[in-house]
């Protein structure tokens, strides 16, 4: 919901670190892969109930996710990098609820499953519109630096990570937080369906 407004702040904060990586020829793809590995370790820490470690690893994953984009803009963005970034992001988002389900199946499995279903809704609507928009040449004015068409919504990256942080700080509240966020994701999905229906109206025909 506020990702577009946060992007300039994020870019300014990460610029010195991106320059350091650029000078040392650290590629954006390497940062993307390393960041995913850090996020996967965060999910493992959740499954093991290591909450401070999980929180630190999730935050580190998001910092590296922003850093890879900043480095890509210095090195020259690639289609492979854009693909890798979004593909691994969605897997990371799914691993966090899975970690909670593994940690306490009795209490967390059903809320985690509902949240994962909601994530499929937001992810599929996001990617479906991005794929069609790429073919028709539609660009997202709010996200000019993104490698794909980026449609915002009620639940974007910032809100998702804020909820993940809250879950790590108060793991006993996971079922409630998961169900509340799943409802917000469901609303985001419906709004994206409507946006896609409106944006790709009958005036836009397949080439």
- pLDDT of 151-196, one tens digit each? 666 778 888 999 999 999 999 999 999 999 999 999 999 988 888 7
Give the 3-state DSSP-derived string for the chain, with helices as H, strands as E and coil as C.
CCHHHHHHHHHHHHHHHHHHHHHCCCCHHHHHHHHHHHHHHHHHHHHCCCHHHHHHHHHHHHHHHHHHHHHHHHHCCCHHHHHHHHHHHHHHHHHHHHHHHHHCHHHHHHHHHHHHHHHHHHHHHHHHHHHHHHHHCCCCCCCCCCCCCCCCCCCCHHHHHHHHHHHHHCHHHHHHHHHHHHHHHHHHHHHHHHHHHHHCCCCCCCC
Q: Which residue has the higher pLDDT, 12 or 190?
A: 190
C-alpha–C-alpha distance, residues 35 and 30, integer Å = 8
Both structure tokens of 36: 């995913």
Q: Tell me the per-residue pLDDT of 33-47, one tens digit each, with 9 for 90 and over.
A: 999 999 999 999 999
Residue 205, pLDDT score: 55
Residue 9, pLDDT score: 79
Confidence of residue 21 (pLDDT cuts 50, 70, 90): confident
Q: Which residue has the higher pLDDT, 145 or 46?
A: 46
pTM of the complete model: 0.84
Name every residue whose Cβ is closer than 8 Å to that of residue 167 and which is 6 or more positions away in sequence: 96, 100, 173, 174, 177, 178
Provide mean pLDDT across the span 133-147: 59
Provide mean pLDDT across the span 94-114: 98
Helices 157-169 and 174-199: crossing angle, nearest 10°? Answer: 170
Residue 118, pLDDT score: 96
Residue 82, pLDDT score: 85
Least confident of 3-12, 134-143, 176-185: 134-143
| Domains in the chain, CATH or no CATH each | 3-199 (1.20.120.1760)
**Is the CB of residue 48 less than 8 Å from the CB of residue 103?**
yes
């Amino acid at each position: 919901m506020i990702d577009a407004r946060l992007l300039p702040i994020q870019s300014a904060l990460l610029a010195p670190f991106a320059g350091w990586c650029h000078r040392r020829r650290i590629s954006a793809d390497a940062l993307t892969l390393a960041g995913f590995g850090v996020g996967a370790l965060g999910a493992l820490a959740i499954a093991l109930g290591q909450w401070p470690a999980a929180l630190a690893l999730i935050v580190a994953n998001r910092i590296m996710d922003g850093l890879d984009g900043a480095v890509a803009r210095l090195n020259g963005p690639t289609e492979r990098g854009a693909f890798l970034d979004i593909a691994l992001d969605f897997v990371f988002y799914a691993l966090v609820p899975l970690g909670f389900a593994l940690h306490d199946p009795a209490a967390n499995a059903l809320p985690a499953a509902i949240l994962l279903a909601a994530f499929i809704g937001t992810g599929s609507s996001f990617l479906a519109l991005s794929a069609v928009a790429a073919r028709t040449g539609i660009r997202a004015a709010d996200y000019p630096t993104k490698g794909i068409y980026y449609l915002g919504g009620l639940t974007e990256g910032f809100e998702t990570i804020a909820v993940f942080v809250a879950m790590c700080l108060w793991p006993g509240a996971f079922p409630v937080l998961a169900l509340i966020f799943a409802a917000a994701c469901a609303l985001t999905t419906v709004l994206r369906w409507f946006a896609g229906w409106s944006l790709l109206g009958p005036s836009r025909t397949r080439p």
